Structure 1
Amino acid sequence: MTERLVPGDPAPSFTLPNAEGGATSLSDFSGRQVVLYFYPAAMTPGCAKQACDFRDNLASLQAAGYAVVGVSPDPVEKLARFAAKEGLTFPLLSDLDHSVAEAYAAWGEKKNYGKTYQGLIRSTLVIDGEGKVALAQYNVRATGHVAKLHRDLGLAVAA
């Protein structure tokens, strides 16, 4: 596993297919702050809760100058269904080979019910306008994470 990123590290560049059928690159957000979050699987209860939490707080994040981008190892078609079902209006990116998750140290060893396996580690990284990591959070919880992120960024939490 790649060593976890810390504030000040350069954010690894990437280009991935998105749920709209195009491609999204980190460079598309040059000069802007980005909340890049990694989630294990679209259409699952925890990931839906987290995505809807970002959706419900999107206006406050955008008002503070942050773009939100979600990344999972799901195929584009599943991401498109997920976005439509949950009314998600921010980019959802498909990292099928988990190479971007690996570059961001969001892919690694996990344990569940006594089994150890490789998988996506729920993580959120905030990237500043110069392409540097401003905040790196690993093993985050699906529920309550966006409120914690608001606090960590010094933003008011939406009601």
Structure 2
Amino acid sequence: MSETPMQLAPDFTVPSSAGSDVTLSQLRGNPVVLFFYPRDNTPGCTTENLDFTALYPDFSSLGCAVFGLSKDSLASHEKFISKKALSVPLLSDEHGQTCEDFGVWVEKKMYGKVFMGIERATFLIDANGHIARTWRKVKVKGHAQEVLEALRNL
């Protein structure tokens, strides 16, 4: 039985709330957690960002970069970070190309309406740039801790 090789994560360059662009391929040599979330300042997204912020020192101590990504503007991200005292850098994919490349721009349904939006998903990317683990349709409660455990087992 042969193992399926891990898929290389799609490369991207997007603006970051930390002040400069982030290019995924330039982060090789260390693991990366990339969590996609629908929108700044909404209940589930706020909880998810606060949970990753609370565990950010643990991720950092393992040499792992953590980024939240949505289609919100940098201005929106900066307000969100300030309002909620977030420490995780947020990436802005206003044109949606990174969301498309990772397959998280999907058809959603709410209250009988069908629309396109970001599926809450997280990707653990190993030091070689391969997707080591994927979480789709994430339930927020306990998720950041589960990702940290997966990183520890990487």
User: Any idea what SS the aligned residue of 1:32 has?
Assistant: coil
**What residue is the counterpart of 2:78 in the other structure?**
80
**What residue is the counterpart of 1:92 in the other structure?**
90
Q: 1:28: how far off?
A: 3.2
Q: 1:98: how far off?
A: 1.2
Q: 1:154: how far off?
A: 4.5
Identity of paired residues, percent?
37
**What residue is the counterpart of 2:52 in the other structure?**
54
User: Any idea what SS the aligned residue of 1:16 has?
Assistant: strand
Q: 1:91: how far off?
A: 1.7
CA deviation map 1:27-63 (0-9, x unaligned): 2312110000000001111111100000001111122
**Could you tell me which of 30, 33, 43 is aligned with 1:32?**
30
Q: Equivalents in 2 of 1:110, 1:63: separation in Å?
A: 36
**What residue is the counterpart of 2:126 in the other structure?**
128
Q: What do you get for the CA RMSD once the two structures are aligned?
A: 1.7
**What residue is the counterpart of 2:68 in the other structure?**
70
Q: Which runs of 5+ in 2 are unaligned?
A: none
Q: Equivalents in 1 of 2:119, 2:127: separation in Å?
A: 25
Q: Equivalents in 2 of 1:12, 1:150: separation in Å?
A: 22
Q: Equivalents in 1 of 2:149, 2:16: separation in Å?
A: 29
User: Does the C-alpha gap of structure 1 residues 95 and 31 become closer, same or farther in structure 2, counting only changes over 3 Å?
Assistant: same
Q: Equivalents in 2 of 1:40, 1:76: separation in Å?
A: 15
**What residue is the counterpart of 1:3 in the other structure?**
none
User: Any idea what SS the aligned residue of 1:47 has?
Assistant: helix
The 10-residue stretch of structure 1 (146-155 or 56-65) with the greater mean CA deviation from structure 2? 146-155
Q: 1:148: how far off?
A: 2.4
Q: Equivalents in 2 of 1:26, 1:88: separation in Å?
A: 21
Q: Equivalents in 1 of 2:106, 2:7: separation in Å?
A: 19
**What residue is the counterpart of 2:6 in the other structure?**
8
**Could you tell me which of 88, 111, 123 is aligned with 1:113?**
111
1:20 touches 1:80 (CA, 8 Å); kept in 2?
no
User: Any idea what SS the aligned residue of 1:36 has?
Assistant: strand
User: Any idea what SS the aligned residue of 2:7 has?
Assistant: coil
Q: Which runs of 5+ in 1 are unaligned?
A: 1-5
CA deviation map 1:68-90 (0-9, x unaligned): 01100101100011111222222
The 10-residue stretch of structure 1 (119-128 or 17-26) with the greater mean CA deviation from structure 2? 17-26
The 10-residue stretch of structure 1 (10-19 or 109-118) with the greater mean CA deviation from structure 2? 109-118
1:36 touches 1:124 (CA, 8 Å); kept in 2?
yes
